[in-house]
Structure 1
Amino acid sequence: MDTGVDHAPSLPRGVSLLALVSILLAGLAAAILPSSPTPADSAAPADVFSAERAAAHIDEVASTPRVPGTPDHTAARDYLVSALEELGWRTSVQSGVGWTTGGDPPVQRGTRVGNVIAMIPGSDPTGTVVLAAHYDTVLGSPGAGDDGIGLGTTLETARALGAGPRPRNDIMVLLTDGEENGLLGSQVFSRSRSPALGPTVVLNHEARGNAGTATTFRMTSPNGLLLDALTRSPWADADSLTQLLFEALPNDTDFRNFTEAGFSGFDTAIAAGAAYYHSPLDTPDRLSRESLQQMGDTSLSTARILADTDLMTLDDGGDEVVSLVPWGLLHYPRWVEIAGAVLLLVAVAVLVVVRVRRRDATPLQILATGALTVVTGALAAALAWLPWWLAQQVSPGMAAPVAEEPYRPGPFQIAAVVAALGLLFVVAAALRRRVPGPALTCGAFLAVALLALLGTPFPGAASTLVLPVLPAVVAVLVTLLLPADAVNRRLAVLTLGALPGAVLGVRAILVSFDAGLVAGAPGAGIFVALTFAATLPLWEPILRETSIRWSALGALLLVAVCTVTAGVVNRDGATDPRQEYLWYALDTDNGSATWASPHGPRSAWSEALLTASATPLPELFPWRADESLSHGAAPVADLVPPDVEVLEDTSAGGARELRLRLSSPRGAPAVGLWVDGATATVHGATVDGQRAEPSSDFGFMFWAPGPNGIEVTLTLSVLSDRLGVRVSDLSGDLSVVPGYEPPTDRVVVQPSVVVTRALEI
């Protein structure tokens, strides 16, 4: 029973519903109608970006995987050099060795890289604008998205820039190598940065899928001048909150090394279609031309602006926040965001005081409703993720193994939104039976205002909450000044106040799904909750007269229908071939071979191969020593193990120094060495001239060792008469396994062939 009284007559239920549906449809239209530009063909003017011309480069380089140390990788590099030289750019290949101790799982890795660098000098340079992408791929993936779209964008942007007037600043194309092995090409470039570059702005291009909006998801600070350029670029998409969320994820790009080297710039990527990420199906024909055109239009325009900007003023731009609104990018100083959060809290406080004084609600009702709003919002995020989680329990093979996403996520996305909205509606309707409408609205607004204030230390967090909700709060305050019987005017004011929340909220919900279902569905659930709060004054008359039981049943039924539909459209055989991991390991010491996978069997085919329970296999996969792998016996292939040649062996004072040559007689693109910690402790190590991190369980993987292999120098304290080591090499062609025949309805993701041997030195 209500313990407060709303003195103004309630809005009619029917017209409130009509107003609510209208603004939500307006938000949907604003989000989807201008979603991407029309791809330009090869007949487009020379000074504009053409997706067709860019795609020709992608078709050329993304016909096969480009794994460092393979002939296809070398051929791709040669093509890129040739393409840039044909444009008249001064082109070279920067060689070096990159090294990292990170990764998941952590392992020391090195790569001989060959970065492709091309330059055109400016007329009066104040610095350098760099167009960057990486050209290597993971095993088994042709990489049309990751990072073919970046290659196509940079090459076509370079061509279009060259077709126009000579720019003021120097322009560089940087196509890095070894990104997939730990951002190693950009590491080599950054540590050898030439002072002649001057102030440098990098436009980095990436992908975690094959479609969707090309979003600038992070940038350096100060960012005022950068945002001035980005805001003037067509189809630019950026949001400070996206950067905040990305920094919390384990993913990374070459941009990390660029920023640590002191460069300024942007990191831009597409992320929809993540089921194709790092898979054999990441092919040119599956790459969205609309996404390619949007990324290209944005990069070309931004590069042109920066090419004629005084880059010496980069540090004068200030630290600004950016948000995407229907008319484009809106950027403003951080103090404006903080002031907005304070203004929202003040406006809500005024509303609460007025409502309490008018006895429309009590402080306890408002506080309790606010607390419940926060809890319900968190539950909405969890519930939005639940349909996809349940589907994976029933059919694990529905999820592509790298990103854990389905090919056709649409019905799951609808189920996520309905699940979140259904929970919010049912909880709000139940609460409305116990508290008056003003308490419900004030409590929700208060929760958002307090969260916005708490979010002010994090750029973009407060703006995400303030922009959709502040107009709604102001609208409610305005209605309190209107005569009690001015129902139509109250409806008009509340509708206008809720419109920004609907427009911004619906777009945020849709954009969340670009991050997939694993991360995107919970994000969408949060934005559903925020949109619900911003439009709550229009929901209130509907809540008051709605059956809670039937609403809950209706939401459950709709979620079930969407989830079942999603299962049908993503069923085995109805989509592109399902994907599975499969690795092969040959232990030449005992002449045995093993199939392995980091995932359990996902089909009858893999069940027949992976017959044993998951356990660690450290002798076969020493760089994944602690990871449990499903496995089973495999045919023994006639493969030659890695070779270790002792070049020098000296001992003095209980220490031993070894200089070894490690190579792969079968020409595998990667080799590795691990020291048995029971026989020695490594105190110093260099690999191909690069210093490695010593440890008691020292080991590494090295890519692109070349036909002559790599030199390894070890300084050890001897714990045994003989030093035990294990060596491996790794390639990606499973056809070398006798009798291997992949099924026509499956593709193997990142196929690996590992040959190992143990020896004593």
Structure 2
Amino acid sequence: MDTTASGDARALPRLPSLLSLLALLVVGLATVLLPAAATPLGPDAADEVFSAGRAATHIEAVSAEPRVLGSPAHRAAREYLVGELEELGWRTSVKSGVGWFSPQDGTTQRGARVHNIVALLPGTDPTGTVVLAAHYDTVRGSPGAGDDGIGIGTVLESARAITAGPPPRNDIMVLLTDGEEDGLLGADMFTSTRSPSLGPTVVLNHEARGNSGAPVTFRISDPNGALIEALAGAPDASADSLTQLGFELLPNDTDFKHFDNAGFHAYDTAISRGSAFYHSPLDTPDRLSHESLQQMGEIALATAHSLIDADLTELDSGGEKVVTTTPWGLLYYARWVEVALTALFFVAVGWLVIARIRRAEASIWSVAAAAGVSVATVGATALAAWLPWWLAQRLAPGMASPVVSEPYRPGMYELAAVVAALGVLITAYLWARKHLSAGSLVVGAFVLIAVVAAVALPFSGAASALVLPALPALVGMHVARFVVDRPPLPVVAVAIGSIPAAVLLVPAVVLSFDAGLMFGAPLAGVFVAVLFVLTLTLWEAVLPSSRTSVGIASVTRVAGTATLASVLVCALVAGFLNRDGATEPRQEHLWYALNSDLDTAVWASPDSPRSEWSRELLIDQASPLPVEFPWRDEQMAHGPAPVAPLQAPEVEVLDDTSAGGARELRLRLSSPRGANAVGLWVDSTTATVHGATVDGHRAEPAENFGFRFWGAGPEGVEVTLTLSVLEDRVGLRIIDLSDDLSVVPGYEPPTDRVVVAPTVVVARSLRI
């Protein structure tokens, strides 16, 4: 045991420490709650400003129904958008071609005939091009008012406001890409066929993963210095280098990927609250936050104004900067500053270790043990924050949206995550105090932060997320040691040093939940742990220690029990608020597949059944369905379905030649029933694909070759395959895909449910 008396003797007074913790909490919450949301402006706002009222008219016009590639609604939206841009007087055109996506894991490739909308306002003396970008297609079954109606509204209203102002110096382009939802296909085509006349180009891309919340610029291309300076002038702009690192660890992506890879300068800005509505039939204009729309528009317009009169040839010389958001705006500095601050923090932690050891408040071994305890505690904290929602989904899976596993009302689950995290921290601290001195625990925790910051230093912004709040807190602790004999100055020093931690980390906890409960809750738990560590000197004075008359083991049990009870209360309230019938309609996946070879059909879902309605349809044990859904290897819940009178996709052999052991097939795939997409897969036991073109676009050869192609139209799509044949006849699997389940006899949509990504597949096989 290392419970050195001097470690307790130097503890701060309890009441001032408690008041300081409460004050820090108030300061942190104030940074979250006090900033007012943008006030939506109506259609009568001044011409030169952004108006959510005017932008909303565009969203309503295109979001009456899903804009799936090749659908009538998709075509109507394109015609509307072209008309609006032409009315503004911009040089408007539709650039058509093939976009393609080849996954690196060799799974089914995706392509489409895409139709990008491009409009240009020439500058008076251009040094390059500023592009306002969004995508106008949607997933199946979603009207897409958020994804990406908010981007459409932002871009069109910003373009109108720019037109109303003085002529810009640089060229301004509106780019509304197509096919984003099925593999960033329009952006792929745009960047691969871009005109050299664009010159230096900066793209402001706008996205959504929900229907509300503050827009966050979560990715900026490198070098980012000049771009951050332009963004910093926008009202309520939010950006953080850490979000870029976090997003790149996720499987999601946006058109930004192609803009960045093409060498463009680019921003990626999105809203992400209300993610339960994402990619669902409930992503409608009436549910989209006009406050979020106004704020996104103001940021886009202000940033564009900063760039349209700038010398875009200087963007490459802006250098690399680290950025984070504070209550007074963006804080940004050169990358070398992050390195210097991290080194300074490392030195300050070393000084803390030496000082505590010299005063016999800790030892090398106790500090090492405390650092190990800190590692375990942070892991347990993240797990505890994640558990409430995970358990809720096990008990009531219908509460979670099937796309991102979010409830409609996540607030109480978020509170449960924070309470669980804080409870684990307090309980772990009380347990550790039985074995280690307070001095050892403080030093060990700071050593862990220093080590993590050093390890994270190669990743821009990662170290700053720890060092910016931790360095002032550490300085406050050092100052407190020098004024220890002059109360209440030690408490004041520690409290003042902890203010940056409250200002930066409380908003970080809240913002973490924008990533969703499954990913955001454990991240929020980590930020709670860091904030707890940085204020541990105050907690040390407030919580019972080895000097108290009450047994610390008893207090630990009480703390653990109180935490569990609090979390349960939060979870019960959250469950009540999200109960069936108390929220928007719950969501279900439902797919239908007709096997035209056997004249059989199945209902299927990539999820387990979530209601009595789906359980009556999906009665068979989950298993892969490669015949009906050849692009999926995962298990699917399924059950027998009525056979719909649907025509099978057709294959016409246009040419068939063999030479030198290779065979070349030229085929035309088409859908007599006018489905949105067609697909083809080659049976790898009969042939290996060494070369392929689809609608003139070169696809990646693969041992297990297959693709889906959208927007082929009534004429279909031409496919050329170069094969090495393993059998006399090549086996092919053909499908077409649409999204109208009403074609199935007897199908009755549930009155209290909405179907996400409705899918109708007709499949056939043949040997050629």
* TM-score, length of structure 2 as denominator length: 0.97
Shift of 1:5: 1.0
Q: Which one of the candidate residues 665, 689, 692 is aligned to 1:658?
A: 665
Q: Is the 8 A contact 2:12 2:537 kept in 1?
A: no
TM-superposition CA deviations, 1:675-733 (whole Å, max 9, x none): 22233222221111111122333221110001111111122223333332221100000
Distance change >3 Å, CA 442–CA 35, structure 1 → 2: farther
Distance change >3 Å, CA 472–CA 26, structure 1 → 2: same
Match of 2:511 in 1: 511
Q: Does 1:527 align with 2:527?
A: yes
Match for 1:531: what amino acid?
L
Match for 2:420: what amino acid?
A
Match of 1:674 in 2: 681
| Inter-partner Cα distance in structure 2 for 1:451 and 1:724 | 54
**Bigger mean CA deviation after superposition, 708-717 or 217-226:** 708-717
| Inter-partner Cα distance in structure 1 for 2:703 and 2:505 | 53
| Inter-partner Cα distance in structure 2 for 1:595 and 1:465 | 50
Alignment of 1:54-453 (within 5 A): 54-102=55-103, 106-453=107-454
Query: Which secondary structure does the structure 2 equivalent of 1:725 belong to?
Result: strand
Q: Is the 8 A contact 2:108 2:705 kept in 1?
A: no
Shift of 1:593: 0.8
Q: Does 1:48 align with 2:49?
A: yes
Match for 2:440: what amino acid?
A
Shift of 1:465: 0.4
| Inter-partner Cα distance in structure 2 for 1:521 and 1:227 | 28
Shift of 1:35: 5.0
Match of 1:552 in 2: 560
Shift of 1:105: 8.9
Match for 1:221: what amino acid?
D
| Inter-partner Cα distance in structure 1 for 2:658 and 2:371 | 72
| Inter-partner Cα distance in structure 2 for 1:125 and 1:754 | 50
Match of 2:588 in 1: 580
Q: Is the 8 A contact 2:624 2:634 kept in 1?
A: yes
Distance change >3 Å, CA 680–CA 10, structure 1 → 2: closer
- Aligned-pair identity (%): 61
TM-superposition CA deviations, 1:428-473 (whole Å, max 9, x none): 1222233332222222222112211111111111111011111111
Distance change >3 Å, CA 590–CA 20, structure 1 → 2: same
**Bigger mean CA deviation after superposition, 448-457 or 87-96:** 448-457
Q: Is the 8 A contact 1:126 1:312 kept in 2?
A: yes
Q: Is the 8 A contact 1:432 1:543 kept in 2?
A: no
| Inter-partner Cα distance in structure 2 for 1:7 and 1:552 | 23
**Bigger mean CA deviation after superposition, 680-689 or 172-181:** 680-689
Please, what is the CA RMSD of the aligned residues? 1.4
Distance change >3 Å, CA 548–CA 111, structure 1 → 2: same
Match of 2:616 in 1: 608
| Inter-partner Cα distance in structure 1 for 2:561 and 2:233 | 48
Q: Is the 8 A contact 2:8 2:438 kept in 1?
A: no
TM-superposition CA deviations, 1:633-671 (whole Å, max 9, x none): 101111111111122222233332222111111100100
Shift of 1:374: 2.0
Q: Is the 8 A contact 1:672 1:702 kept in 2?
A: yes
TM-superposition CA deviations, 1:511-552 (whole Å, max 9, x none): 000111011001100000011111112111112357222111
Q: Is the 8 A contact 1:671 1:701 kept in 2?
A: yes
Shift of 1:483: 4.7
TM-superposition CA deviations, 1:563-590 (whole Å, max 9, x none): 1111111111111111111000011111
| Inter-partner Cα distance in structure 2 for 1:668 and 1:555 | 54
Q: Is the 8 A contact 2:106 2:704 kept in 1?
A: no
Shift of 1:744: 0.8
**Bigger mean CA deviation after superposition, 641-650 or 164-173:** 641-650
| Inter-partner Cα distance in structure 1 for 2:440 and 2:660 | 80
Distance change >3 Å, CA 654–CA 10, structure 1 → 2: closer
Q: Which one of the candidate residues 620, 623, 627 is aligned to 2:631?
A: 623
Query: Which secondary structure does the structure 2 equivalent of 1:428 belong to?
Result: helix
Distance change >3 Å, CA 676–CA 439, structure 1 → 2: closer
Shift of 1:103: 8.2
Match for 1:514: what amino acid?
D
Q: Does 1:467 align with 2:468?
A: yes
Q: Is the 8 A contact 1:650 1:658 kept in 2?
A: yes
Match for 1:710: what amino acid?
V
Q: Does 1:755 align with 2:755?
A: no
Distance change >3 Å, CA 104–CA 417, structure 1 → 2: farther
| Inter-partner Cα distance in structure 1 for 2:139 and 2:663 | 37
Q: Is the 8 A contact 2:219 2:269 kept in 1?
A: yes
Match for 2:412: what amino acid?
P
Structure 1: which 5+ residue stretches go unaligned?
Answer: none
Match of 2:549 in 1: none
| Inter-partner Cα distance in structure 1 for 2:118 and 2:686 | 45
Shift of 1:757: 1.4
| Inter-partner Cα distance in structure 2 for 1:7 and 1:700 | 68
Structure 2: which 5+ residue stretches go unaligned?
Answer: 546-551
Q: Is the 8 A contact 1:502 1:534 kept in 2?
A: no
Q: Is the 8 A contact 2:58 2:152 kept in 1?
A: yes
Shift of 1:353: 1.5
| Inter-partner Cα distance in structure 2 for 1:447 and 1:70 | 55
Match for 1:569: what amino acid?
L
* TM-score, length of structure 1 as denominator length: 0.98
Q: Is the 8 A contact 1:9 1:487 kept in 2?
A: no
Match for 2:559: what amino acid?
S
TM-superposition CA deviations, 1:67-112 (whole Å, max 9, x none): 0111110000001101111111110000000111128993111100
Match of 2:710 in 1: 703
